[in-house]
Amino acid sequence: MNGKVLITGPTSGIGRAVAHRLAAAGHNLILAGRDREETERIVTDLRVRYDATISSKHYEALAFESHREFLDSCCAGGELNGLVMCHGYMVEQTLTENDFRAAATTIDVNYKSYVSLLNDAARYFKQRRNGFICVVSSVAGDRGRQSNYTYGSAKAALTTYTQGLRNRLAPYGVSVITVKPGFVDTGMTWGLLKPQSLLVASPERVAVDIVRAIERRKDVIYTPWFWRWVMMVIRLIPEGVFKKLKL
């Protein structure tokens, strides 16, 4: 495939796994992370392992006004063929209930920063009339549950935004993929999930699904696959019953 792929959140569990998968498939990558040293370690890791051209850029999700310049600099040395957005922020739900700053950061990182960068990216890809935008949302956005609804509401907004974006860019040959992972064993969820549970998938497993969805120009995927059916059942429960459940 021609052009480079830009990945945000490359130090996250899913971001790193997707970067490995894409680099192994021969894509050239730009890794956009906040922590320069850690991002650079992932760059060297990919360079040693795969015969791919990898570079890094500093990306500050919450510095919204810097995003346009950031994207311009990513396109400077050759065209971008795709964008994969994996950065995220999750803390215990109770913290977001008791400390508004935690709630605000949850919304800012998981929703506002996506809108900010995606607005600029949409303009770029629309003009280019080719390429893909892959956004990692979450099953948590499919229905608000008491255990995780602040994070879930930001992801629900993101899911709705990407729906509209897909609709807008479809005539221009740009695919927009919404990824809804279930429980994934990453640094973000460590200590919040039971890693041995059968419901918890490895980030490597999820990355296989994500790259396949990009290649097949899918619209919405659940990963692992069974979450589509799990969430269908969860969405079908009447609200009167659902509000009494402990989920």
Partner 1 sequence: MRSSELHLGGWGNYPTYTSDVYRPERWQDVIAVVNEADASGLIARGLGRSYGDAALNQDGGILLGTRLNRLLDFDSHAGIVECEAGVVLGDLITLFLPRGWFLPVTPGTQYVTLGGAIAADVHGKNHHCDGSLASFVVDFQLVTGRGEILTCSREENRDAFWATVGGMGLTGVILTARLRLRRVPTSYIMVDYLRAQDLDEVLGHMDTSDARYQYSVAWIDTVARGGALGRSVLIRGNHADVDQLSPAQARNPLTIAAKFKVSLPFHVPAFVINPRTVGVFNNAYYAKHPARQGVTCDYESFFYPLDSVLNWNRVYGKRGFIQYQVVMEPDSQHRGLIALLEELSKQPQASFLSVLKAFGAGSDGLLSFPKPGYTLALDIPNSGPESIDLVRSLNRIALRHGGRVYLAKDAYLDPHTFSEMYPQSERFKEIKQTLDPDQHFSSSLARRVGLVENS
- Binding footprint of partner 1 on the chain (CB under 8 A): 11, 13, 35, 37-38, 41-42, 44-45, 48-49, 187, 190-192, 194-196
Residue 58 or 143 having the CB closest to partner 1: 58
Residue 47 or 228 having the CB closest to partner 1: 47
The amino acid present at 75, given as its one-letter code, is C
Residue 192 or 245 having the CB closest to partner 1: 192
Is the distance from CB of 202 to CB of 190 less than 8 angstroms? no
Q: How far is the CB of 47 from partner 1 (least distance, A)?
A: 9
Q: How far is the CB of 48 from partner 1 (least distance, A)?
A: 4
Q: How far is the CB of 59 from partner 1 (least distance, A)?
A: 16
Residue 20 or 218 having the CB closest to partner 1: 20
208 is written with which tokens? 């296989």
Give 67-126 as a 3 state SS string: HHHHHHHHHHCCCEEEEEECCCCCCCHHHHHHCHHHHHHHHHHHHHHHHHHHHHHHHHHH
Closest CA to 82 of 50, 40, 124: 124
Residue 39 or 159 having the CB closest to partner 1: 39
Long-range contact set of residues 159-163: C-beta below 8 Å, sequence gap at least 24: 161/111, 161/114, 161/115, 161/118, 162/118, 162/133, 162/135, 162/137
Q: How far is the CB of 195 from partner 1 (least distance, A)?
A: 7
Q: How far is the CB of 9 from partner 1 (least distance, A)?
A: 12
